[in-house]
Structure 1
């Protein structure tokens, strides 16, 4: 596995991203939950996938099981 690269707050802010602190149980739920309808557009499914991925990555980064 590649070494983890710490998040650069300035770089994230330049991208327009904002920090979000959630309880690990909430992140776990978010990482596993998709509520896209059957007829969801690809863009909507992609967004849901990115959010679930980032939730799982945050859990992993802080030593929590996904």
Structure 2
């Protein structure tokens, strides 16, 4: 999996990314659940890895990590 860098809100806005508000329980599930099929490409695995990382980081940032 590619290295994942911490979130920089200004840089994220400059990239056109948008904030996403989710329930903490949904974020916790998302941070622990891999949606990759067995035949997933490396690109798909990297994408799911970024999503899981961001979900966990959002929980941690708001003091709700488990």
Please report the TM-score for the alignment, with normalisation by the length of structure 1: 0.81
Does 1:14 pair with 2:18?
A: no
Paired residue for 1:27? 27
User: SS at 1:43's partner residue?
Assistant: helix
Count of residue pairs brought into register by the alignment: 61
Larger Rg: 1
Please report the TM-score for the alignment, with normalisation by the length of structure 2: 0.81
Measured on the aligned residues, the alpha-carbon RMSD in Å equals: 1.8
Structure 1: 4+ residue segments shifted above 4 A: none
Does 1:48 pair with 2:48?
A: yes
User: SS at 1:54's partner residue?
Assistant: helix
5+ residue gaps in structure 1?
none
> Which gives a bigger RCO, structure 1 or 2 (Cα 8 Å, sep 6+)?
2
5+ residue gaps in structure 2?
1-5
